[in-house]
Amino acid sequence: MRVLAALSGGVDSAVAAARAVEAGHDVVGVHMALSRSRAQHRNGSRGCCSIEDASDARRAADVLGIPYYVWDLSERFEETVVADFLAEYAAGRTPNPCVRCNEHIKFAALLDRAVALGFDAVCTGHYARISTDGAGARHELHRGAAQEKDQSYVLAVMGPERLARSIFPLGDAPSKATVRAEADRRGLAVSGKPDSYDICFVADGDTKGFLRDRLGASPGPVVDADGVVVGEHDGAYAYTVGQRRGLKLGRPASDGRPRYVLSVRPVDNTVVVGPREALAVTELTGGDVVWLAADVPAAEWTRAEVQVRAHGTPVGAGVRRAGARLDVRLDEPVRGVAPGQSVVAYAGTRVLGQATLVDRA
Amino acid sequence: MTEKPYHAYLDHAATTPVRRAAVDAFVRASASVGNPSSSHAFGRAARRLVDEAREGVAAALGAQPGEVILTGGGTEADNLAVKGLFWSRRSADPRRTRVLVSAIEHHAVLDAARWLAEHDGAQVVELPVDSRGRLDLEVLDAQLDLHADEVALISVMWANNEVGTLQPVDDVVAAARRHGIPVHSDAVQALGHVPVDFATSGLAALALSGHKLGAPVGVGALVARRDVELTPVLHGGGQERGVRSGTVPAALAASLAAGLAAAVDAREREAARISALRDELLDGILASIPGVTARGAAPGPGRLPGNLHLTVDDADAEVMLFLLDSAGIAASSGSACQAGVEQVSHVLSAMGVGDEQARGALRLSLGHTSTLDDVEAVLAALPAVVERSRLARKAF
């Protein structure tokens, strides 16, 4: 196959590309320039689109002996991922930009370009497995073998057609440590590079500051469940459901117990706080359903495990699809679930589908 | 796919293979030790190499040896000319803060001038060009009529690196001479391709680069008349008339002189051969691919012999270069300097080419090692490349 390997400049994508080369594919490396200010210096592990990362990606391609190009997708990234991130926070929701990047950039813009240029598939360093039935007609997405690195949660959004054009060579890697060791063995200089974390376009990791810069300060009240004002904030968008730290409430709660953000109301620019138990929810409603498992349609209530955050624990649940909507009844309550988050349904290691949370109770 | 050897190198304007004579000169000269500034026998031997190189460079350009200031390359030579002339002219006469440059200068000139505007009070005027990329002399004359007393220098390149159009350097010098204004010309792309004679040009300064003519990367020169005052950019040991400090690299100097001499000796013959190949390439492309526009001056005496510049409607440079590269053909969108992320060319913009068409820019540049096989390789591959690029447009 002709394979386009996305090279971020990190360890995972470099080893994934190496494995694709070894599997006998014709591999070309592409680094996506996603930031509009590429000169921005980032410390150590943050981000994936600094000049250093591009150069690390190029050096990995050199070692693998594959051609390497930089594709500028910064405009598309800004218009989709960053714009969505800002709009979602402004609307009081909690977006997951990695999900949006997979939806709009990696398995959309990048994949579309690759296909248009004659490639058969895109290869990335994600920790997830794709299995096919004998005929290769049905592609299933499964959790990666490396439990602590599993990224199936952020990948379900790409949908079944794009799954068929994706390759995740690290799906069966037992751990990140083995991938690092493999990078070292292959002479890839990025083997010791720290893991990336946080949001790549928030260079200093200060999401609150980033939102304030881009959305402007907008002071308003913090109230308790009875509507009593207990503090103030400089922008409701900077709060996320389930958050406890950084509330800076002057007055302690009457019962003396810690308070959590229960909801964010952009309409009247208000943050509502309350006790931890008020966060517990058992019923979820998702929108924009993307369903991968055609053989498990879930048109009626179907047993599954549901995960509501990237490295959260799956909870047993009944799920039911109704058009673009997904209804979820959890066996036990979960806390701190915010509108905007992805709700992913699993059957064992297999991803059935996902939706974006619109409501919960 | 693993990297494979190229079938066709059509990016000579980015850098051209080092000529045999230049390699030999470098190897010979680098075998001996000696700092040209030392007074002992080793130093004298190195000094001799440098002096011979200086004489060789001067002879090839119609200049005097004392006019040759060796530099680390073309960019440094341009920076020294623009900044050095600006600073010295302004300190002689504080009114002289105006810098006139063509809008299609290489960034080595353009950004040096813009830096002076941003940081050092220069007023930079970017002179327009016509649709073929040739300087508009009327605008220059108008500037001089209005502001001659304020002009520190004029910088107009000999030949444009992207679209290959030769500039009316003689006319610029004639206009400037009436006002006693020094003219610098970036001749990096011109040397070895078109006749250049420094003495008869009337220029105050001229920049050249080794690796564009068959000498190694890392060496170049600013040829500057002895009566032209230059304020140094690099300070140190006072080498090269005190305007370019730093130990003179004897082996690189020898190699530059050998490469330049070889290029100039072969120029007439090579130019005829290369322009014939270029014309064949152009005719073949125009005959086989619709929606292609040749940019720059018409083939002939007003254009570099090895330069072919096209815009391809409904195609993206990035995609065409990728597909050509996959087919073993090395080309460029116009300049190798904006590595990585593509930007619309300031040269095409200055020529009035819209952004939409400029997105499909393709420069194919031939040089001393080009053959008919190269031309045929492009003619065989390009139609499918353009077709695929156009189909891929939707995804880009």
Q: Determine contact: A67 vs chain B, CB below 8 A.
A: yes
Tens of pLDDT, residue by residue over A227-236, are 888 888 888 8
Residue of chain B with shortest Cα separation from A34: B341
Q: Which residue ranges of chain B lie beneath pLDDT 50?
A: 1, 338-340
Q: Determine contact: A71 vs chain B, CB below 8 A.
A: yes
Residue B253 confidence (pLDDT): 98
Tens of pLDDT, residue by residue over A10-69, are 999 999 999 999 999 999 999 998 876 655 544 444 445 577 888 899 999 999 999 999
**Averaged pLDDT, A171-180:** 94
Q: Which two tokens stand for residue A66?
A: 């594959």
- For chain A, give every residue range classified as CATH 2.40.30.10: 280-360
| B326–A66 C-beta distance less than 8 A | no
Residue tagged 């059935």 (tokens): A352
Residue B336 confidence (pLDDT): 54
Active site residue B1: no
| A54–B340 C-beta distance less than 8 A | yes
Average per-residue pLDDT for chain B: 95
Residue B5 confidence (pLDDT): 54
Q: Is A205 left (phi over 0), alpha (psi -120 to 50) or beta?
A: left
Residue A41 confidence (pLDDT): 44
| A65–B3 C-beta distance less than 8 A | yes
Residues of chain A neighbouring B3 (CB-CB closer than 8 A) = 65-67
Residue A258 confidence (pLDDT): 85
Active site residue A200: yes
How close, in Å, is residue A228 to chain B by CA atoms? 53
- For chain A, give every residue range classified as CATH 3.40.50.620: 2-192
- By the 8 A CB rule, do A94 and A240 touch? yes
Which CATH code for domain B8-17+267-395? Answer: 3.90.1150.10
Helix ranges, A176-253 (H): 176-185, 207-215
How close, in Å, is residue A49 to chain B by CA atoms? 12
For chain B, give the longest Cα–Cα distance: 69
Position A138 confidence tier, pLDDT thresholds 50, 70, 90: confident
Residue of chain B with shortest Cα separation from A35: B341
Q: Determine contact: B396 vs chain A, CB below 8 A.
A: yes
Cross-chain CB nearest to B2 (options A66, A70, A112): A66
Residue B167 confidence (pLDDT): 98
Residue A192 confidence (pLDDT): 81
| A72–B395 C-beta distance less than 8 A | no
What count of CB pairs under 8 Å joins A to B?
45
Element (H, E) at A18: helix A11-22
Q: Could you say which of B146, B337, B372, B391 is catalytic?
A: B337
Fold type of domain A217-277 = SH3 type barrels. (2.30.30)
Between residues A246 and A286, the one the model is more confident about: A286
Classify domain B20-262 by CATH architecture.
Answer: 3-Layer(aba) Sandwich (3.40)
With 90 as the cut, is the pLDDT of residue A217 above it? no
Q: Determine contact: A22 vs chain B, CB below 8 A.
A: no
Between residues A46 and A210, the one the model is more confident about: A210
Q: What's the rounded Cα separation, in Å, for the pair B52 and B257?
A: 8
Enumerate long-range contacts of B148-151, CB under 8 Å, 24 or more apart: B148/B179, B148/B181, B149/B95, B149/B96, B150/B95, B150/B96, B150/B97, B150/B98, B150/B123, B151/B96, B151/B98, B151/B99, B151/B100, B151/B179, B151/B181
**Averaged pLDDT, A303-313:** 92
| B391–A113 C-beta distance less than 8 A | no
Strands across the sheet containing B361-365: B292-294, B307-312, B361-365
Per DSSP, what are the bridge partners of residue B159? B166
Q: What's the rounded Cα separation, in Å, for the pair B132 and B303?
A: 10
Average per-residue pLDDT for chain A: 89
Residue B63 confidence (pLDDT): 97
Percent of chain A with pLDDT over 70: 94
Tens of pLDDT, residue by residue over B123-141, are 999 999 999 999 999 999 9
Q: What's the rounded Cα separation, in Å, for the pair A345 and A324?
A: 15
Which CATH code for domain A2-192? Answer: 3.40.50.620
Q: Is A346 exposed, middle or buried (0-12, 13-18, 19+ CB in 10 A)?
A: buried
* Residues A49, A55, A60, A65, Cα dihedral to 10°: 120
Residue A90 confidence (pLDDT): 87
Q: What's the rounded Cα separation, in Å, for the pair A20 and B274?
A: 42
Quote the DSSP letter at residue A193.
P
Residue A33 confidence (pLDDT): 87
Closest listed residue to residue A333, CA positions, set A261, A283, A287? A283
Q: Is B28 left (phi over 0), alpha (psi -120 to 50) or beta?
A: alpha
Closest listed residue to residue B144, CA positions, set B116, B125, B169? B125
Residue B3 confidence (pLDDT): 55
Phi, psi of A53 (to 5 degrees): -65, -40
Residue A67 confidence (pLDDT): 94
Quote the DSSP letter at residue A252.
P
Which CATH code for domain A280-360? Answer: 2.40.30.10
Give residue limits of the domains in chain B. Answer: 8-17+267-395, 20-262
Q: Could you say which of A48, A49, A98, A101 is catalytic?
A: A101
